[in-house]
Amino acid sequence: MTSSPLTIGIPIFPQADLLDIAGPYEVFTQQFSKVYLIAADMQPVKTSGGMKLVPDYTFDDAPKLTLLVVPGGPGQIRMMTSRRYIAYLKAAAESASHVMGVCTGALLLAAAGLLDGHEATTHWDSLPCLNLFPRVSVSPGYPRYVISGTRITTSGVSAGIDGALEVVALLAGDEAAKEVQLLIQYAPQPPFDDGDPMSAEPVVYRKVEQGLKKTQQTRIKQIIRLLKL
């Protein structure tokens, strides 16, 4: 498989979800030779699960990007009011032909104004949060990913793989995306049908929703404060 010379950057932060980063990273590195992790400095960054990732560049010396990929995770709440992180997103998006948000990474894009005038989605539990941004149109239902012009957003965590495959198709063609899908043998057949709010058993849905309630409330409060600035 021939690698394309496009440059892809993933700005990581403490307490980001590992799969938000690793899923798209695995897909993109199969097709594109320049896929970089970018952070505030060169120190290892600990994800929400505890794994440490080593950045390739900092916000100050990162190359211009063809594609900006923004992950989500618990640390996203804090990053929404990080002037340096948001400033980097805005600067990187200026030269990027496409911008992608994985899971609650969509909230970071919205906070940076990069989803203004676009339709978008995010993790199902954070859809009320995305709805708070008046210039963002939230896609109805629970789509795995949404394409709106040059913006691509995905639903929760694992959907980053689906979205990344679609981006490969957009940037390198359907055949290239199909080759990557086969190479990573992505043909999910989960043992349960509880990966979507519409299909999850009510008892499972209620338990997970309750477990996420505090985080959702914190996100909502943070966004309301942000919109008042």
pTM for the structure as a whole: 0.96
Residues 190-219 have a mean pLDDT of: 97
Known catalytic residue at 103: yes
- Look up tokens 């009011």; give the residue: 81
Single out the residue of 76, 73, 69 nearest to residue 18, CA to CA.
Answer: 73
Amino acid 33: pLDDT: 83
Alpha carbons 211 and 179: distance in angstroms, whole number: 38
Alpha carbons 137 and 222: distance in angstroms, whole number: 20
- How would you label 35-56 residue by residue, b for 16+ Cβ within 10 Å and e otherwise? bbbbbbeeeebbbbeeeebebb
> What's the whole-number average pLDDT of the chain?
97
Amino acid 1: pLDDT: 57
DSSP strand pairing (137-138 vs 145-148): unpaired
Q: Quick one: tokens of 97?
A: 């032909």
- The residue from 67, 70, 103, 136 that is catalytic is 103
Alpha carbons 133 and 131: distance in angstroms, whole number: 5
Using left for φ > 0, alpha for ψ between -120 and 50, and beta otherwise, residue 188 falls in beta
CATH fold, domain 4-228, is Rossmann fold (3.40.50)
Do 146 and 121 form a contact (C-beta atoms < 8 A)? yes
Do 167 and 100 form a contact (C-beta atoms < 8 A)? yes
> What percentage of the chain has pLDDT greater than the value 90?
96
State whether residue 23 is helix, strand or coil. helix
User: Domain residues of the chain, as ranges?
Assistant: 4-228
Residue 1 β-bridge partners: none
Interval 110-159: pLDDT, tens: 999 999 999 999 999 999 999 999 999 999 999 999 999 999 999 999 99
